[in-house]
Amino acid sequence: MDTDAEGKKTLGEISKCREFCPNGVNAVLLVIPFGQKFTKEEETSIGHLKTLFGDDLFKYGIVIFTHGDKFDEAKEDGQLNHFNEYLHSQPPYFNDVLQKVGRRYVLFNNKLRGDAAKPQRLQLVEHIRAVMGNVGQVAYKIPEYVNTAGACFHATSTVLIDGKHPEKMASLQLGNKVLSIPDDGIAPAILDTVYFFSHAADDVIAPFVRITTAGGKTLHLSEGHYIYAGRDALKTGALVTAREVKVGDVVHVVDAEDQTPHPEEVMEVKTEIKRGLYCPHTLGGSLVVDGVCVSTYTEMIPPTVAHGLLWPVRVLYRIAPEVAGKIAQPQGEKGMPTWLGWLHDCYTAWV
């Protein structure tokens, strides 16, 4: 979702819902006015909601058609005989959404009062009961909006396992060998081991910088995450935060076939809202994410300092990976190892 005025308004409403319903909600209502043509804009909006809520959007979804009085008028005028005629007149994507929510929908006439309005309310209650029955009576927890600079990548960013197989961040595991950057920045990309996650949280949404290159690579990363920028950046180790990247800058990309990093110009820089916060660390401190060369470090702690502070964790991982895995696992609501927050506090107090 682009963070334009409408996107920010939506995020504000989502944050309010989380405050008002801390224990979760029993259903997610998708409200559509009757008579409105389902255009590409509405399809895009549903796609944005799918990005934010994932498949839970459809598990808990109920479509509410408002302006039911207009349907009654159309029926009286002979324009429609049945509500299904209106549904069938809509584009395939619209009916696909109805199928995904289990055809749970209600036509609401807000002008009805008293007993006349009771049937539509009862129909909605029955749909909510059906949703709760399908999900085992578990309420849906609204994702938290986190405006954080140094959290890293979103859930569906991809890395190459063993240099061949694309894997989403949300599925990445400790011990996986992923494509990384050679020390000289000239040789083909190498495999390096994921030994630690400084962040791993799925039930959050956050802003990310979207960087698009001339060759079509698209990378999303937090504004405080470090990326190799500059024509000789891989040789010199020159890093900048994502917020500093501008159109015309040069980043370094890796193609699936020829896995030798090469420079590519940045064509577009935007901010988008995505779901999930994941920050895997490799032993060498670099990664190739969505085909773009990045550091594993963020501005939370300067890269050279962070790499030094994590030396004991790397040593422990090499000696006893199972023990290291236990202490490196994200914990708590923030999806971070507890000791990492303590380490950050100590560093900031020291400097």
- At 81 the pLDDT is 86
Q: Is residue 1 part of a domain?
A: no
- At 41 the pLDDT is 83
Q: 66-75, 159-168, 320-329: which range is least confident on average? A: 320-329
Q: 129-138, 181-190, 284-293, 296-305: which range is least confident on average? A: 181-190
- At 150 the pLDDT is 61
SS3 readout for the chain = CECCHHHHHHHHHHHHHHHHCCCCECCEEEEEECCCCCCHHHHHHHHHHHHHHCCHHHHCEEEEEECHHHHHHHHHCCCCCCHHHHHHCCCHHHHHHHHHCCCCEEECCCCCCHHHHHHHHHHHHHHHHHHHHHCCCCCECCCEECCCCCCCECCCCEEEECCCEEEEHHHCCCCCEEEECCCCCCCCCEEEEEEEEEEEEEEEEEEEEEEEECCCCEEEECCCEEEEECCCHHHHCCEEEHHHCCCCCEEEECCCCCCCCEEEEEEEEEEEEEEEEEEEEECCCEEEECCEEEEEEECCCCHHHHHHHCHHHHHHHHHCHHHHHHHHCCECCCCECHHHHHHHHHHHHHC
Q: 37-41, 119-123, 344-348: which range is least confident on average? A: 344-348
For residues 221 and 328, membership in a common domain is answered with yes
Q: Higher pLDDT residue, 268 or 188?
A: 268
For residues 120 and 168, membership in a common domain is answered with no
For residues 220 and 308, membership in a common domain is answered with yes
Choosing from 140, 174, 202, the residue where a domain stops is: 140
Look at residue 9 and tell me whether its pLDDT is greater than 80. Answer: no
pLDDT band for position 2 (cuts 50, 70, 90): very low
Mean pLDDT computed over 226-252: 93
Q: 2-11, 190-199, 293-302, 330-339: which range is least confident on average? A: 2-11
Q: What is the mean pLDDT of the chain?
A: 86
Look at residue 265 and tell me whether its pLDDT is greater than 90. Answer: yes
Mean pLDDT computed over 252-274: 89
Structure pTM? 0.75
Mean pLDDT computed over 20-24: 80
pLDDT 10s digits, 96-155: 999 999 999 999 998 888 899 899 999 999 999 999 988 888 888 877 777 665 668 999
pLDDT band for position 1 (cuts 50, 70, 90): very low
For residues 193 and 91, membership in a common domain is answered with no
For residues 169 and 203, membership in a common domain is answered with yes
Give the range of the structural domain holding residue 303, as residue numbers without chain letter: 158-350
For residues 274 and 323, membership in a common domain is answered with yes
Look at residue 24 and tell me whether its pLDDT is greater than 70. Answer: yes
Q: Is residue 12 part of a domain?
A: no
Q: Higher pLDDT residue, 171 or 202?
A: 171
- For position 77, which CATH number holds? 3.40.50.300
Q: Higher pLDDT residue, 173 or 152?
A: 173
Mean pLDDT computed over 61-69: 93
For residues 126 and 182, membership in a common domain is answered with no
Q: Is residue 118 part of a domain?
A: yes
- At 78 the pLDDT is 85
For residues 338 and 225, membership in a common domain is answered with yes
Mean pLDDT computed over 260-283: 92
For residues 92 and 214, membership in a common domain is answered with no
Please count the structural domains in the chain. 2
For residues 227 and 336, membership in a common domain is answered with yes
For residues 238 and 310, membership in a common domain is answered with yes
For residues 134 and 208, membership in a common domain is answered with no
- For position 278, which CATH number holds? 2.170.16.10
- At 6 the pLDDT is 55
